[in-house]
A and B are shown apart, each in its own frame.
Chain A
């Protein structure tokens, strides 16, 4: 006999029919997802309309509809409005959506992977690597072969090189543990930080140093229709899909290596898979938008407050919240000091840091 005996046959009068609140849980999740999706749509339309030239949401919707669905066919807006919406702001807002979602879900994955709620996607040294690559491109013209994409291309290569280094250091002995991953990430991060500083120092160009600093603090200003944006969209979509499919494994890994193993999730192999996916995703995101802090750290906590800790719900909800948050942060970055543009990292940190403090207080009172 086996434990199967513990389970009543489906046709028997079932004493467990209230299903542990499954229906209620589902309703709540559907409500959150529906509400946030609608919120994201509204966010996109409003954010595209906001700027030096204000454009009402109705016109925004018509222009986007005209370009994508061919409807309405009649042009009732000016050429200037058309190019502001379609050429300038929409790609930028779209990049914001994708980058925000990516940072948030990669933060979720990283926090499960190293079992530390203070982990963020930059922990793996990816940002530092991208920064070194970007600094080399800005100051010394590295990656000139990629033409106008020299900056994102060399940032991406820098990011990949850094994660490869973290991976090699952390893998010593055939296993990858949370602690080793954290330490390798920190060590590689500092080494590359030193390298970036050295490049800035060696180049001795005030203008170049300023560009590097601006890039380090993040900006969506490089967004335009084209291959780089397409690459980011595809990579982020694939990452999101992978993390959704891996949600139960993330739950198991977040509890502990031993538990994960006994539930059929080999911890080291799964960590390697996560590492590859997250590094590629963050590499692509950082290359396109620089180092935008705090989103990957804070948004996962917000999502968990809304829908609990199970990754099947946290991943999609965090993606939506991250997208909405980053688009509004970019609106603030574009408009607060008009006509000058603030690095978006300043906004996310300004909003994120107090938020994190509030969360920590709540955690404390909840005994977690």
Chain B
């Protein structure tokens, strides 16, 4: 279980999160949605302890994240972040093996089992054939799958993902999220695409200006009257036999502050 209770965070004097609540029950996938600058990534970073909240409490299975040692946290919580790859030409195998780091003591080398876990993780995301390639030379979709494989290699039972469908074409967007939703791991995922959120998340948390504007099932959150004031865009909802689909259009109103 992942929990954030009344979490606030400020960069300098700018309040980015203002008493946000998120709870991910064991085995569920919770989507964090909201406009740019609404605090999604900041909230995610407090969940994995990269930022210490100014107020509120972040917990992992009831234990405050701040009290967990770095390696123990990494054994229980895997994270797929949006970050460059650095300049070193590490191979895909070496990249995925890094997921084993939290399980090895300083004096241990990678053993047979670590390689086996890495191979299985790559297999699971359909990237086994990339093992010998240099990570930095992969396409966006291949990189994303390898990073998810590294998270799998951590064998944690909690998973956080920051916009894992970025740079992916439509097929890979669905493949990646299908994979994540079938892992049966407690997951919090930041998503931009609300239709993907509708299909693959069990619960959604809608952020607006650092506060939770709405939370609940996709059916309850993805409603025009909820989304329109937050995104300032026209929303039409279609309930198909295959779930909720949203259509968007610009609002006719003139933007604030603009003169006609």
Across-interface contacts of A5 in B (CB, < 8 A) = 184
Least Cβ–Cβ distance between B12 and chain A, in angstroms:
11
Across-interface contacts of B84 in A (CB, < 8 A) = 256
Least Cβ–Cβ distance between B150 and chain A, in angstroms:
8
Q: Is B101 an interface residue (CB 8 A)?
A: yes
A264 pairs with B101, CB closer than 8 A: yes
Interface centre among A19, A20, A112, A263 (most CB of B within 10 A): A20
Q: Is A261 an interface residue (CB 8 A)?
A: yes
Q: Is A255 an interface residue (CB 8 A)?
A: yes
B120 pairs with A117, CB closer than 8 A: no
Segment touching B, from A33-41, A47-55, A63-71, A246-254: A246-254
A262 pairs with B89, CB closer than 8 A: no
B115 pairs with A115, CB closer than 8 A: no
Least Cβ–Cβ distance between B146 and chain A, in angstroms:
12
Distance of A305 Cα from B188 Cα, bound (Å): 39
Q: Which residue of B lies closest to A17 (CB)?
A: B116
Binary CB contact string for chain B from 52 to 77 against chain A (1 if under 8 A, 0 otherwise): 00000000000000000011111101
Q: Is B195 an interface residue (CB 8 A)?
A: no
Residues of chain A in range 241-293 having any CB-CB distance to chain B below 8 Å: 245-246, 248-249, 251-252, 254-256, 258-259, 261-266
Distance of A265 Cα from B104 Cα, bound (Å): 12
Least Cβ–Cβ distance between B90 and chain A, in angstroms:
5
Binary CB contact string for chain B from 36 to 47 against chain A (1 if under 8 A, 0 otherwise): 000000000000
Q: Is A172 an interface residue (CB 8 A)?
A: no
Across-interface contacts of B85 in A (CB, < 8 A) = 255-256
Q: Which residue of A lies closest to B105 (CB)?
A: A245
Least Cβ–Cβ distance between A291 and chain B, in angstroms:
25
Interface centre among B71, B84, B119 (most CB of A within 10 A): B119
A265 pairs with B88, CB closer than 8 A: no
Known contacts A252-B98, A262-B48, A309-B94; is-contact A6 B83 (Cβ 8 Å): no
Q: Which residue of A lies closest to B75 (CB)?
A: A264
B94 pairs with A115, CB closer than 8 A: no
Least Cβ–Cβ distance between B129 and chain A, in angstroms:
11
Q: Is A367 an interface residue (CB 8 A)?
A: yes
Known contacts A259-B81, A312-B109; is-contact A8 B98 (Cβ 8 Å): no
Q: Which residue of A lies closest to B49 (CB)?
A: A261
Q: Is A339 an interface residue (CB 8 A)?
A: no
How many A residues face the partner with a CB closer than 8 A? 47
Q: Is B86 an interface residue (CB 8 A)?
A: yes
B157 pairs with A22, CB closer than 8 A: no
Residues of chain A in range 282-315 having any CB-CB distance to chain B below 8 Å: 304, 308-310, 312
B107 pairs with A245, CB closer than 8 A: yes
Known contacts A3-B183, A6-B124, A263-B99; is-contact A309 B90 (Cβ 8 Å): yes
A258 pairs with B50, CB closer than 8 A: yes
Distance of A258 Cα from B84 Cα, bound (Å): 10
Q: Is B131 an interface residue (CB 8 A)?
A: yes
Known contacts A7-B120, A19-B116, A20-B131; is-contact A261 B70 (Cβ 8 Å): yes
Across-interface contacts of B204 in A (CB, < 8 A) = none
Across-interface contacts of B131 in A (CB, < 8 A) = 20-21
Across-interface contacts of A21 in B (CB, < 8 A) = 93, 131-132
Across-interface contacts of A18 in B (CB, < 8 A) = 119
Distance of A304 Cα from B88 Cα, bound (Å): 9
Known contacts A21-B131, A262-B81; is-contact A3 B156 (Cβ 8 Å): yes
Across-interface contacts of A304 in B (CB, < 8 A) = 88-89
B81 pairs with A258, CB closer than 8 A: yes
Q: Is A368 an interface residue (CB 8 A)?
A: yes
Q: Is A365 an interface residue (CB 8 A)?
A: no
Across-interface contacts of A15 in B (CB, < 8 A) = 123
Of the candidates A1, A8, A17, A367, the one whose C-beta lies within 8 Å of that of B137 is A367
Least Cβ–Cβ distance between A345 and chain B, in angstroms:
26
Distance of A251 Cα from B93 Cα, bound (Å): 13
Distance of A349 Cα from B238 Cα, bound (Å): 69
Q: Is B29 an interface residue (CB 8 A)?
A: no
B89 pairs with A14, CB closer than 8 A: no
Known contacts A6-B120, A262-B48, A264-B102; is-contact A115 B70 (Cβ 8 Å): no
A251 pairs with B137, CB closer than 8 A: no
Q: Is A4 an interface residue (CB 8 A)?
A: yes
A309 pairs with B89, CB closer than 8 A: yes
Across-interface contacts of A3 in B (CB, < 8 A) = 78, 152, 154-157, 183, 185
B112 pairs with A265, CB closer than 8 A: no
Known contacts A3-B155, A264-B74; is-contact A14 B116 (Cβ 8 Å): yes
Q: Is A2 an interface residue (CB 8 A)?
A: yes
B93 pairs with A112, CB closer than 8 A: no
Across-interface contacts of A367 in B (CB, < 8 A) = 137
Across-interface contacts of B144 in A (CB, < 8 A) = none
A248 pairs with B155, CB closer than 8 A: no
A-B contact pairs, 29 of them (CB 8 A): A1-B184, A3-B152, A3-B157, A6-B120, A7-B120, A10-B113, A14-B116, A16-B119, A17-B116, A21-B93, A21-B132, A245-B106, A251-B94, A252-B98, A255-B85, A255-B86, A255-B90, A256-B83, A256-B85, A256-B86, A259-B83, A262-B48, A262-B78, A263-B154, A264-B71, A264-B75, A309-B89, A310-B91, A368-B87
Question: Given A263-B102, A264-B71, A308-B89, list of 15 further CB < 8 A pairs?
Answer: A1-B27, A2-B155, A20-B131, A22-B112, A245-B106, A245-B107, A246-B106, A254-B88, A255-B86, A255-B90, A255-B98, A262-B50, A262-B78, A264-B102, A304-B89
Instruction: Name the 4 nearest CB pairs between A and B, nearest first.
Output: A264-B74, A264-B71, A16-B119, A2-B157
